[in-house]
Amino acid sequence: MNTSPDQGAAMARAAQVDQLVFQDPVSRYPAIEPPRQHQPEPGLDRDLQPRADLGEHSYRGTGRLIGRKALITGADSGIGAATAIAFAREGADVALSYLPSEEPDARRIIEFIEAEGRTAVALPGDLSEDDYSAGLVTRAVEGLGGLDILVNNAGKQIAIESLADLTDEQIATTFKVNIEVMFRLSREAIRYLPAGSSIINTTSIQAYKPSATLLDYASTKAAINTFTKGLAQQLAPRGIRVNAVAPGPIWTPLQPSDGQPIEHLPEFGHNTPLGRAGQPTEVAAAYVFLASPESSYVLGETLNVNGGTPSP
Ligand code: NAD
Ligand code: MG
């Protein structure tokens, strides 16, 4: 079955109910069967078939981040965008980092943030370019008037069948965007973050269960887990908490822009215990929890949001 009008209707119904309504996680969203599709990297949420649920019409804030100031990388689409919407609904101002080609997606998220009466600061640029990544945190601080949440979420995932075809250039860029930049942004951020702040890094189920086609990507995700646990200990005495979120298969533009072999798309997420892919808004709640003071005793943790696949 391809994504049918029925599935589209089910997605629309799911989006009418907010995340706090008692519901069955198996059927909260349909087990989508995305048609085979391809977008040039980095892909746009706008062009996903079917569209993903970023919580635009469902995420309900409960005042957990009032007055907070967050920088989110990769905030234009997917998990980062759903997190940006959730943070704004919880009362936070948000600075958004994204690639210039993602401006159409970013504009839409900025409108949702501003509709909450919150400030959105647009900071487009390429994290693989040092001129952009150096000083990014400072520009966010200037735009927001401070900073107390850093979400290191941008990621590059290009599937390659054989190690023989994995180029030096791809290895270097994947490591740079996924993990090296995380060191640098975190280093810049600790100049500004007051006690009570949170750094939240996006890792992946790939850290534990690497796909044969994602050697470079999966290796960076394992490094992110280790970086998170080490930095959490270093910053604990300063009252800065560092944690990670490890998503499983989530329907985002990362997947049809060479993140998966195209023939795998219709089955995406069906092998999880819940039997379906996750939607970005289902992951956003994990970032809200880790950013909010309610998780004050949670440090160095990797919160798995993966539909039930066992992980260490
Ligand atoms: P996405 O494509 O919506 O988000 C990734 C974002 O990374 C892009 O929007 C882009 O803004 C940013 N990015 C990539 N290269 C960049 C560069 N050179 N400079 C600046 N920004 C750059 O997809 P997503 O799935 O929401 O990805 C968000 C994070 O979640 C990534 O770290 C990804 O590895 C991780 N993740 C995703 C899944 C999944 O199934 N979708 C699973 C596990 C982990
Ligand atoms: Mg994007």
Concatenating the DSSP letter of every residue in 195-255 gives TT-EEEEE--GGGTS--TT-HHHHHHHHHHHHHHHHHHHHHGGGT-EEEEEEE-SB-STTI
| Mean pLDDT estimate for the chain | 96
Q: Tell me: the pLDDT tens digits for 242-272?
A: 999 999 999 999 999 999 999 999 999 999 9
3-state secondary structure of 122: strand
In a domain, 16, yes or no: no
Q: Tell me: the pLDDT tens digits for 26-47?
A: 999 999 999 999 999 999 999 9
Q: Which of 98, 132, 208, 217 is catalytic?
A: 217
Query: What range does the domain containing 135 cover?
Result: 38-305
Q: Is the pLDDT of residue 21 over 50?
A: yes
Phi-psi region of 6 (alpha: psi -120 to 50; beta: other; left: phi over 0): alpha
In a domain, 265, yes or no: yes
In a domain, 273, yes or no: yes
Known catalytic membership, residue 217? yes
* Contact between 117 and 94 (Cβ < 8 Å): no
In a domain, 312, yes or no: no
In a domain, 28, yes or no: no
What CATH number is attached to the domain comprising 294? 3.40.50.720
Write the residue with the smallest CA distance to atom 32 of ligand 1. Answer: 155
In a domain, 125, yes or no: yes
Q: Tell me: the pLDDT tens digits for 130-178?
A: 999 999 999 999 999 999 999 999 999 999 999 999 999 999 999 999 9
In a domain, 198, yes or no: yes
In a domain, 13, yes or no: no
Q: How far is the CA of 203 from the centre of ligand 1 (A)?
A: 10
What is this structure's pTM? Answer: 0.97
Q: Which residues line ligand 1 (CB under 6 A)?
A: 42-43, 74, 76-80, 98-99, 102, 126-128, 153-157, 177, 202, 204, 247, 249-250, 252-254
Question: What is the number of the ligand closest to the CA of 264?
Answer: 1
Domain total of the chain: 1
What whole-number percentage of the chain has pLDDT above 90?
94
